[in-house]
């Protein structure tokens, strides 16, 4: 390893990216022994005084033994240090043997000397972490480093970890090789749905409907080429991915991880693709920590560009996995309802028009079930209203989910009558707003649907009424599939 | 084990050796833990494990007391006979009376039975029924003890007798311990106690003679209370770094490498619920509201504590053998004995099952390199604490061993499974190390028995409050406390 590589690394991460770096994280990133990493931190901190004055703050760890404490119990009696120990006869503790007490204490650099003087015997002092500004009292920002280290170590061989980083080796420790990577690819909270596993096995594409595919939709083939390049931008200078195992250098690593990155949760995606969020101030770094912890949901700060990339990503993978008839473009909540309708409308136009009236009920039901666009007669004019019915929230491991929604669409047919139809479309949504949307949409839907149905059936001719009712039935069937949706909630999170 | 290079070893003596410029050619020591045996004593532990097929709740709890008396009566009778036979009080020879109801007035005699403490403050199921509070939460009074109104009774299969006298009042007694008392019946029908005997420490296996080549220790920690949320205390991370030998200097690592076993004794998960009963009530309500909710729902289930603990334990299991024992806050059954935490809750760590990770019951017995360990999550001692005055946890632990019973208050106030065939909490053997987790503060002492038994008692503090890890030397029973401090505690 080049001698100054660590200082470049530390300068990038601490001064530029405003992140805290612990010795453990540094050792994992550079693949060096933790003791060497501690020295790296020290050397960088020393040199930073001239290079980046006031930009690097150090936290030290002191190990040793404190001055005689009157009693073992730390917190309460610590304040009594001044009083002579004899006032606290603790016969139980000091019965027949002296209890050795060691202490490991983290101290900010400002308090290092004070803290040292409180020790009776100092075993070691080393730089624990470097950070752009003094850490909060509870050092919570360092916890993120620990998490990343754990994720790095997750799939490594215990022996290799011990050799490289100096971790104590337990000869008996043997990880079952059962499903390596099972937990690396998906967050344990959101078990990989069968959808995700399916994505690995290429599914036959629904052929007929491909003509309907809208321009917005991206085929996965093109996807593979576009996405990595967009991510490479951000990944290069950040390489923050937790799970990726470092290879040799930082850059190689990030390149290696680009592909993995795609499958990972959005929070991580966002992170690595985040030239946008990168230049935030030190203060907001903490904030970022927090938002990340919110179960990897997307944050409002994510720029539209990122979300679009993500979206196209999801759309590709999901289209691949979804049942054959799902060829709708994926709608995000960024798109206005108008866009959605426009798209649907387009698809209608491209359809052949006159299927509607003399279908058999069975056929109809089948069509409705098949939750596709093309089954419906293409209306000429579109008029109003949607109805959102949450069908099956399926959470993805990447922080965004898709759910099927039933839309109620009112159109005026060729004869000038209003017809109502229900369609199922897949909509991509953010898990962050999951709870709210569900709670919000439910009452709204039940409220609005009844009058609308009435209106539509009232104006229709008997024949059409019939059809509309049948469709209603079909749609209701779909809705009573609510039992299913609750089953699906098993996979939630 | 130490593969230190000469370059490094010369500098490791200096406490500031890590505060110097890095040299690329330098090699640093790596350590390996000594191979050692860490068996669970299945003879005892199997009794704690309830098999689903055998679990029934139809039987009465009385059989547990009967079984306990059957086993412990001969033991305490032997002790009592040695002490009192042939003794005469007021020219009257003391004799043994087999059943408490056979005691005659004015005769000095000794009887054996199970103590029952009648306490007005103690929760009583009959009271609750009369109040028609079927599902009240367990009363969480700190203490049941009230010296003015409490009465102590001794009961056996024949009946019950009220114990009086200054001797008995000053003794540490709880419901469920089996004792022998010497005295006479008063005119009012009470039994005036002159002397009392316990079963005393059970036999102890000899510890293997220390070979003295290297130190080996067992690390005990309890009350990690991992929450997985933003304000997780950072001491927990430091603890895991220390155990893996990454924290501090090379001697610290060496010291950590002497730890051959880590026992996480209870309450590893943060407590965010009030009591098991109120939780049941909540569940009852919600199941009515949303009947069709299968599986768990994210609003009532928080997966963060398990995830956070899982990732830490998985990391730790790479480096040291870990056993995790449940405590009263952990996701397993509440009643004693607590069954092992289902490893499915820790999917990453589960992959070390069979090698360096085990999920064990509470209480549990270990045999670590010949060191026999008995440990509990602390509920037993917490429950004894409610019966007695004072806060001497070590004394309670000591008496628990002297009563030869590690959970005497089960099933009276410590919820327990109604065993039919045996009382699993009876101690047939005295451990070398007896610890109770989740105690208010660290305390330790060594007690000695009449037959040369030597037991290290450790009251383990809650890590979440004290940041303390306790190391017990396998060979010398010497105790050591390692404290991790950051943030507020560092400001002392």
Question: Which residue in chain B is spatially nearest to A289 when comparing CA positions?
Answer: B230
**Binding-face residues of B in 401-420 toward A, CB within 8 A:** none
Distance CA A274, CA B160 (A): 76
CATH number of the domain encompassing residue A125: 3.90.1030.20
Q: Which of A129, A175, A193, A435 to mutate to test the interface with B (most CBs of B within 10 A)?
A: A175
Please check whether residue A482 touches B, CB under 8 A: yes
What is the reported pLDDT for B262?
Answer: 93
CB contact under 8 A, A168 and B256: yes
**Per the domain annotation, does B119 fall within a domain?**
yes
A112-122 pLDDT, tens digit per residue, is: 888 888 888 88
pLDDT band at B288 (very low <50, low <70, confident <90, very high): very low
| Residue A319 to residue A309: CA distance in whole angstroms | 15
pLDDT higher than threshold 80 for residue B343: yes
Count up the domains in chain B and report the number.
Answer: 3
- Please check whether residues B385 and B451 belong to one and the same domain: yes
Which CATH number covers residue B192? 2.40.50.430
Does some domain include residue A374?
yes
Residues A121 and A196 in one domain: no
CA-based nearest residue in chain A for residue B4: A166
Residue A11 pLDDT grade (very low, low, confident, very high; cuts 50, 70, 90): confident
B-facing residues of A in 152-191 (CB < 8 A) are: 153-154, 158, 161-163, 165-176, 178, 183, 188-189
Distance CA B13, CA B26 (A): 15
The mean per-residue pLDDT over the stretch B192-215 comes to: 84
Surface of A (39-98) touching B: CB under 8 A:
39-40, 42-43, 46, 61, 63-64, 72-75, 78-79, 81, 92-93, 95-97
Same structural domain, A273 and A148:
no
Residue partners of B238: CB distance under 8 A and separation at least 6: A104, A106, B247, B484, B486
Residue A392 has pLDDT above 60, yes or no: no
Q: pLDDT averaged over chain B?
A: 81
Here the ipTM equals: 0.82
Q: What's the total number of domains in chain A?
A: 3
* A17 belongs to a structural domain: yes
Cβ B323 vs Cβ B360: under 8 Å: yes
> Is residue A146 domain-shared with residue A238, that is, in the same domain?
no
Q: What pLDDT shows up at residue B219?
A: 93
In this prediction, residues A228-256 reach a mean pLDDT of 42
Q: A124 — contact with chain B (CB < 8 Å)?
A: yes
Note whether A168 contacts B319, CB cutoff 8 Å. Answer: yes
A431-468, pLDDT tens digit by residue?
Answer: 555 444 444 444 444 444 444 444 444 444 444 444 44
Please report whether residue A88 resides in a domain.
no
Q: Are residues B329 and B365 in the same domain?
A: yes
- Read off the pLDDT band of A19 (50, 70, 90): confident
Residue A177 lies in a domain: no
Other CB atoms within 10 A of residue A306 CB: 22
pLDDT of A128 > 50? The answer is yes
pLDDT of residue B372: 92
Q: Looking at the domain assignment, is residue A345 inside a domain? A: yes
The Cα A422–Cα A389 span in angstroms is 10
Of A274, A306, A338, at which residue does a domain stop? A306
Q: Are residues B359 and B402 in the same domain?
A: yes
Taking the Cβ of residue B298 and every Cβ of chain A, the question of whether any pair is shorter than 8 Å is answered with yes
Contact residues, chain B, for A99 at CB < 8 Å:
444, 479-481
Is the pLDDT assigned to residue A493 strictly greater than 80?
no
Is B310 at the interface with chain A, CB within 8 A? Answer: yes
- Say how many C-beta atoms besides its own lie within 10 A of residue B33's C-beta: 24
Instruction: Identify whether B101 is part of a domain.
Output: yes
Strands A418-430 and B160-164: unpaired
Confidence (pLDDT) at B180: 92
Whether B2 and B121 share a structural domain: no
> Does A219 have pLDDT greater than 50?
no
Å between A173 CA and nearest CA of chain B: 5
CB-CB neighbours of A211 under 10 Å: 8
Place of tokens 């000591």: B398
CA distance B108 to B111: 10
Kindly state whether residues B82 and B230 are assigned to the same domain: no
Mean pLDDT along residues A49-62: 83
Does residue B202 form part of some domain? no
Q: What is the pLDDT of residue A458?
A: 41
What is d(CA B365, CA B376) in angstroms, rounded to the nearest whole number?
9
Closest-CA residue to A155 (of A112, A184, A186): A184
Report yes or no: A30 at the B interface, CB cutoff 8 Å: no
What tens digit of pLDDT does each residue of B419-445 get? 888 888 999 999 999 999 999 989 999
* C-alpha neighbours within 13 Å on the C-beta side of residue A60: 22
Average pLDDT score over residue span B197-217? 83
Indicate whether A485 pLDDT > 70: no
Residues A446 and A405 in one domain: yes
∠ at Cα B91 (B88, B97), nearest 5°? 50
* Interval B349-405: pLDDT, tens: 888 888 889 999 989 999 988 889 999 998 899 988 888 888 889 999 999 999 999
User: What range does the domain containing A276 cover?
Assistant: 186-306
Q: Are A72 and B441 in contact (CB < 8 Å)? A: yes
Within this chain, do residues A292 and A406 fall inside the same structural domain, yes or no?
no
Q: What angle do CA B99, B101, B106 make, to 5 degrees?
A: 105
CB < 8 Å from A in window 105-124 of B: none
* Token pair 């007896």 in the structure block, residue: B434
**Mean pLDDT, range B268-284, rounded to an integer:** 53
A431 and A389, same structural domain?
yes
Residue A308's pLDDT band, with cuts at 50, 70 and 90, is low
List alpha helices for A266-336, DSSP H.
266-272, 275-278, 282-293, 304-321
Contacts of B232 in chain A (CB under 8 A): 140, 143
Residue with tokens 């907001």: A284
The CA distances from residue B174 to A39, B89, B163, B228, in Å, are 57, 28, 13, 38
For A338, the token pair is 């108008």
CATH code of the domain covering residue B443? 3.60.21.50
Q: Is residue A319 part of a domain?
A: no
Residue A312, in any domain of the structure = no
The structure tokens listed for A329 are 């473009």
B171-189 pLDDT, tens digit each: 888 888 999 999 888 888 8
Which of residues B141 and A318 earns the better pLDDT score? B141
Q: Are residues B260 and B380 in the same domain?
A: yes
The lowest-confidence range among A173-177, A482-486, B38-42 is A482-486
Which of B5, B22, B219, B307 should be substituted to probe chain A, the one whose Cβ sees the most A Cβ atoms within 10 Å?
B22
**B257 contact residues in A (CB cutoff 8 A):** 168
Residue B394 lies in a domain: yes
In a domain, B312, yes or no: yes
pTM comes to 0.63
| Higher local confidence (pLDDT), B487 or A358 | B487
Q: Could you say which residues from 347 to 386 on chain A have a Cβ atom under 8 Å away from some Cβ of chain B? A: none
- Find chain A residues with C-beta within 8 A of B455's C-beta: none
**Among A292-301, B212-221, B253-262, B403-412, which stretch is predicted with the lowest mean pLDDT?**
A292-301
**Average pLDDT, whole number, for chain A?**
57
Average pLDDT over residues A418-443: 63
Q: Judge whether B344 is closer than 8 Å to chain A, CB to CB.
A: no
Using a CB-CB distance cutoff of 8 angstroms, which residues of chain B are in contact with residue A146?
Answer: 237, 241
Phi-psi region of B213 (alpha: psi -120 to 50; beta: other; left: phi over 0): alpha
Question: At which residue do the structure tokens 């927990």 appear?
Answer: B236
Report the pLDDT averaged over residues A357-375.
45
d(CA A218, CA A221): 8
Task: Note whether B240 and B224 are within 8 A (CB).
Answer: no
**Collapsing DSSP states into helix, strand and coil, what is residue A447?**
helix
Per the model's pLDDT, the better-predicted residue between A56 and A390 turns out to be A56
pLDDT above 90 as % of chain B? 20
Return the number of CB contacts < 8 Å for A and B: 293
A343 and A288 both lie in a single domain: no
Name the band, by pLDDT with cuts 50, 70 and 90, for residue B138: low
In this complex, do B486 and A189 lie within 8 Å of one another by their Cβ atoms?
A: no
Q: Are B466 and A36 a contacting pair at CB < 8 A?
A: no
- A118-122, A253-257, B59-63, B357-361, range with the lowest pLDDT: A253-257
Cβ-Cβ contacts under 8 Å, A125 against chain B = 15-16, 18-19
Same structural domain for residues A422 and A480?
Answer: yes
d(CA B165, CA B294): 59
Most confident of A125-134, A201-210, A228-237, B455-464: B455-464
Q: Model confidence over B64-91: pLDDT tens digits?
A: 888 899 999 999 999 898 888 888 888 8
Q: Which of B2, B30, B296 to mutate to test the interface with A (most CBs of A within 10 A)?
A: B30
Chain A: closest CA distance from residue B465 (Å): 8
Contact indicator for A394, A401 with CB cutoff of 8 Å: yes
Choose between B110 and B29: higher pLDDT: B110
Cα dist from B440 to A77, A99, B266, B468, B469, whole Å: 13, 18, 14, 12, 14
Query: Which chain B residues have a beta carbon less than 8 Å from that of A72?
Result: 441-443, 481
Which chain A residue lies closest to B26 (C-alpha atoms)? A36
The dihedral of CA A226, A231, A234, A238: what is its sign? Answer: negative
| Chain B contact for A139 (CB, 8 A cutoff) | yes
**Are B318 and B383 in a shared domain?**
yes
Both B24 and B44 in one domain: the answer is: no
pLDDT (mean) for B311-337: 87
Handedness of CA B217, B223, B229, B232 (dihedral sign): negative
Q: How far apart are CA B373 and CA A196, in angstroms?
A: 47
pLDDT surpassing 80 at residue B115: yes
Same domain, A113 and A25: yes
Contact A63 B443 (CB under 8 A): no
| B:52-71 residues touching chain A, CB 8 A cutoff | none
Residue A190: closest C-alpha in chain B:
B303
Instruction: Decide if A487 touches B, using CB distance below 8 A.
Output: yes
Centre a 10 Å sphere on the Cβ of residue B158 and count the other Cβ atoms it contains: 12
Residues B123, B171: one domain?
yes
pLDDT digits (tens, 9 = 90+) for A394-406: 444 555 667 777 7
The pLDDT, as a whole number, for residue A288 is 45
Residue A424 and residue A338 share a domain: yes
Cβ–Cβ gap A168/B299 under 8 Å: no
pLDDT of residue A399: 58
Clarify whether residues B48 and B26 are in a common domain: no
One domain for residues B42 and B109: no
On whether residue B329 sits in a domain, the answer given is: yes
pLDDT at A295: 41
CA-to-CA distance for B95 and B107, rounded, in angstroms?
A: 9
Identify whether residues A225 and A138 lie together within a single domain: no
pLDDT of residue B209: 76
Residues B353 and B367 grouped into a single domain? yes
Do A121 and A154 reside in the same domain of the chain? yes
What is the C-alpha separation between B188 and B206, in angstroms, rounded? 49
What pLDDT score was predicted for residue A489? 67
Over residues A277-307, the pLDDT tens digits come to 444 444 444 444 444 444 444 444 444 555 5
Question: At A187, is the pLDDT very low, low, confident or very high (cuts 50, 70, 90)?
Answer: very low
A107 in reach of chain B (CB within 8 A): yes
B463 touches chain A (CB under 8 A): no
Q: Are B446 and A96 in contact (CB < 8 Å)? A: yes
Q: Measured between CB atoms, which of B293, B319, B352 is closest to A486?
A: B293
The residues, any chain, with a CB within 8 Å of residue A446's CB and separated by 6 or more, are: none
Domain extent, residue B149, equals 62-197
């Amino acid at each position: 390893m080049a001698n100054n590589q660590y200082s470049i690394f530390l300068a990038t991460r601490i001064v530029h990216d405003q992140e805290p770096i612990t010795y453990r994280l540094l050792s994992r990133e550079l693949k060096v022994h933790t003791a060497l990493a501690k020295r790296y931190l020290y050397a960088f901190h020393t040199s930073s005084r001239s290079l980046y004055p006031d930009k690097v703050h150090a936290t030290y760890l002191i190990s040793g033994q404190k001055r005689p404490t009157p009693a073992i119990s730390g917190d309460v009696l610590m304040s009594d240090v001044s009083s002579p120990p004899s006032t606290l006869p603790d016969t139980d503790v000091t019965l027949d043997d002296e209890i050795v007490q060691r202490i490991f204490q983290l101290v900010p650099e400002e308090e290092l000397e004070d803290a040292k003087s409180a020790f009776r015997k100092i075993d070691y002092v080393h730089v624990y972490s470097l950070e752009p500004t003094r850490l909060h009292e509870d050092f919570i920002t360092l916890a993120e480093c620990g998490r990343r280290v754990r994720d790095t170590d997750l799939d490594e061989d215990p022996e290799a970890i011990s050799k490289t980083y100096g971790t104590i080796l337990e000869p008996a420790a043997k990880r079952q090789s059962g499903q390596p990577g099972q937990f690396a690819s998906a967050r344990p909270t959101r078990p990989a749905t069968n959808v995700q596993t399916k994505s690995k096995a290429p599914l036959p594409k629904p052929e007929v409907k491909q003509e309907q595919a809208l321009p917005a939709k991206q085929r996965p083939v093109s996807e593979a080429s576009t996405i990595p390049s967009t991510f490479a931008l951000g990944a290069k200078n950040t390489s923050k991915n937790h799970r990726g195992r470092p290879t040799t250098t930082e850059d190689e690593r990030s390149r290696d991880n680009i592909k993995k990155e795609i499958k990972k949760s959005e929070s991580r995606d966002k992170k690595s693709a985040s030239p946008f969020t990168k230049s935030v101030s030190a203060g907001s770094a903490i904030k970022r920590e927090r938002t990340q912890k919110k179960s990897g949901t997307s944050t409002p700060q994510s720029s539209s560009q990122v979300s679009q990339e993500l979206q196209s990503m999801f759309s590709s993978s999901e289209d691949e996995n979804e049942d054959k008839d799902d060829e709708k473009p994926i709608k995000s909540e960024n798109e206005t309802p108008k866009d959605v309708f426009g798209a649907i409308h387009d698809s209608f136009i491209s359809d052949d028009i006159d299927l509607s009236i003399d279908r058999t009920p069975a056929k109809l039901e089948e069509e409705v079930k098949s939750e596709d666009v093309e089954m419906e007669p293409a209306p000429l004019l579109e008029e109003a209203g949607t109805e959102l019915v949450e069908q099956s929230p399926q959470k993805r491991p990447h922080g965004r989910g898709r759910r099927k929604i039933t839309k109620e669409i009112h159109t005026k047919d060729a004869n000038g009558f209003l017809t109502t139809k229900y369609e199922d479309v897949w909509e991509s949504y953010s898990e962050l707003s999951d709870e709210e949307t569900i709670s919000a949409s439910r009452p709204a839907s039940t409220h609005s649907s009844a009058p609308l149905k009435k209106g539509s059936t009232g104006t229709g001719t008997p024949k059409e009424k019939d059809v509309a009712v049948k469709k209603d039935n079909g749609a209701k069937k779909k809705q009573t599939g609510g039992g299913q949706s609750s089953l699906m909630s098993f996979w939630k999170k | 084990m130490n593969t230190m290079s000469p370059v490094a070893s010369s500098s490791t003596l200096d406490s500031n050796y890590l505060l110097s410029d890095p040299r690329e050619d330098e090699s640093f020591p790596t350590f390996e833990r000594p191979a050692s045996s860490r068996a669970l004593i299945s003879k005892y532990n199997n009794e704690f494990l309830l098999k689903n097929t055998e679990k029934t709740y139809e039987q009465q709890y009385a059989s547990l007391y009967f079984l306990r008396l059957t086993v412990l009566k001969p033991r305490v009778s032997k002790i009592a006979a040695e002490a009192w036979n042939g003794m005469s009080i007021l020219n009257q020879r003391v004799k043994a009376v087999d059943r408490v109801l056979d005691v005659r007035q004015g005769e000095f005699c000794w009887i054996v039975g199970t103590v029952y403490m009648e306490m007005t403050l103690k929760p009583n199921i009959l009271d609750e029924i009369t109040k028609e509070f079927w599902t009240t939460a367990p009363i969480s009074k700190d203490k049941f003890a009230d010296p003015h109104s409490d009465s102590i009774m001794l009961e056996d299969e024949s009946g019950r007798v009220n114990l009086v006298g200054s001797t008995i009042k000053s003794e540490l007694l709880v419901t469920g311990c089996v004792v022998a008392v010497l005295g006479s019946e008063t005119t009012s029908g009470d039994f005036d106690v002159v002397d009392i005997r316990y079963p005393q420490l059970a036999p102890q296996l000899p510890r293997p003679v220390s070979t003295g080549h290297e130190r080996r220790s067992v690390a005990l920690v309890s009350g990690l209370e991992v929450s997985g949320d933003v304000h997780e205390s950072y001491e927990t991370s430091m603890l895991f770094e220390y155990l893996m030998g990454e924290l501090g200097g090379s001697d610290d690592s060496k010291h950590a490498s002497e730890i051959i076993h880590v026992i996480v004794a209870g309450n590893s998960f943060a407590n965010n619920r009030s009591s098991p009963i109120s939780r049941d009530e909540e569940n009852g309500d919600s199941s009515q509201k949303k009947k069709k909710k299968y599986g768990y729902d994210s609003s009532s289930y928080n997966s963060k504590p398990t995830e956070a603990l899982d990732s830490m334990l998985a990391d730790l299991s790479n480096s040291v053998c870990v056993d995790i024992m449940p405590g009263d806050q952990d996701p397993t059954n509440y009643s004693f004995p607590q069954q092992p935490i289902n490893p499915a809750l820790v999917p990453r760590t589960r992959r070390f099952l069979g090698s360096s990770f085990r999920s064990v019951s509470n209480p549990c017995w270990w045999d670590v390199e010949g060191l026999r360990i008995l440990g509990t999550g602390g509920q037993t001692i917490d429950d004894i604490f409610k019966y007695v005055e004072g806060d001497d946890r070590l004394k309670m632990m000591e008496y628990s061993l002297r009563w030869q019973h590690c959970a005497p208050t089960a099933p009276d106030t410590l919820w327990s499974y109604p065993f039919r065939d045996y009382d699993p909490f009876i101690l047939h053997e005295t451990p070398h190390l007896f610890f109770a987790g989740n105690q208010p503060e660290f305390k330790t002492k060594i007690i000695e028995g009449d037959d040369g038994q030597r037991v290290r008692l450790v009251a383990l503090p809650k890590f979440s409050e004290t940041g303390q890890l306790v190391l017990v030397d396998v060979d010398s029973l010497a105790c050591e406390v390692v404290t991790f401090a950051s943030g507020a505690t560092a400001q002392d």
